[in-house]
Amino acid sequence: MIKAVLFDLDGTFADTAPDLAAALNQVLVEEGRPALPLKVIRPVVSHGGIALIRLGFNFDEQHIDFERLRLRLLEIYQNNISTLTTVFDGINELLETLENQQIAWGIVTNKPAWLTDPLMQQMGYTDRAATIVSGDTTKERKPHPEPLFYACREIDCQPSECLYIGDAERDIIAGNAAGMTTLTALFGYIEASDIPENWGADAMIEHPKEIEAYL
C-alpha cells in the first residue's frame, strides 16, 4: 500500500535543464567561448554546477578559475531559476490523482535549499508538497538514505509505504537502501554512459503517467 510518492527534483519532477543550460551558456559567452547545444548540456544537469563547469570549460576543480566560474553560474541560475523550467508532461495530472486519493507527495533532492525553495515557490508547489528535502536539509545526501528517512518522518509514514522516483543511480541506491519501492525515470537526465538497467530499481518508466500503476 503506497501512502506517499517522493520525487527527485531535477530530471524527474521538473525539467530544469533549459534554465541551467542558459546559465552555463551565459558564463561561456562572458568568457569568450561558444555556447553549447541544450542536448549536450541536458544529460549533465542532474550532477550540478561542478559538472556543468567541467563540461563547459573542460577543466576540473583544481583550475584557478573553476570556483569563480561555478559561483557565476549559480548566480545567473538563481536569478533566472524558473524562467524556462516546467514540470514534466503528466506530472500535474499525477499530482491531482495523488491528492484526490489522499496520497502524500514530496521532493527529495540534492539541490541546496537556497535553490530548491525558491524554485518550488515560483512554480507554485510549495504549499502542496507534504515535504521538501534538499541536499543540505540533513547531514547526508543521496545516495545515503537519510534524506528519504527524513521525508518519511515529515509525512508520518514508513519507508515501505513510499514510492521514490529518480533519474540518477544515486536516487535508486538511496531509495533501495531506505526500503522504498523505486522507479527509474528514463525521461530524465540519463547520460550516454549510464546503464539504468543495472541500477536495481523495481521498474523503469518512460513517462510520469506510468507511476499511477504502482499506486
Question: Is 8 designated active site?
Answer: yes
Annotated catalytic residue within 10, 15, 19, 171? 10
Pairing of strands 131-133, 104-108: parallel
End-to-end alpha carbon distance in the chain: 7
Per-residue pLDDT of the chain (215 residues; tens, 9 = 90+): 899 999 999 999 999 999 999 999 999 999 999 999 999 999 999 889 999 999 999 999 999 999 999 999 999 999 999 999 999 999 999 999 999 999 999 999 999 999 999 999 999 999 999 999 999 999 999 999 999 999 999 999 999 999 999 999 999 999 999 999 999 999 999 999 999 999 999 999 999 999 999 98
- CATH class, 4-15+85-214 region: alpha beta
Where do the structural domains in the chain lie, given as residue ranges?
4-15+85-214, 17-79
Q: Give DSSP secondary structure letters for 75-141.
A: HHHHHTTTSS-EEPTTHHHHHHHHHHTT-EEEEE-SS-HHHHHHHHHHHT-TTT-SEEE-TTTSSS-
- 174 neighbors 182 (Cβ within 8 angstroms): no
Residues 6+ apart with CB under 8 A from 154: 106, 130, 131, 133
- 155 neighbors 4 (Cβ within 8 angstroms): yes
pTM: 0.96
Question: Is 10 designated active site?
Answer: yes
List the one residue out of 100, 105, 102, 110 whose CA is nearest residue 125. 105
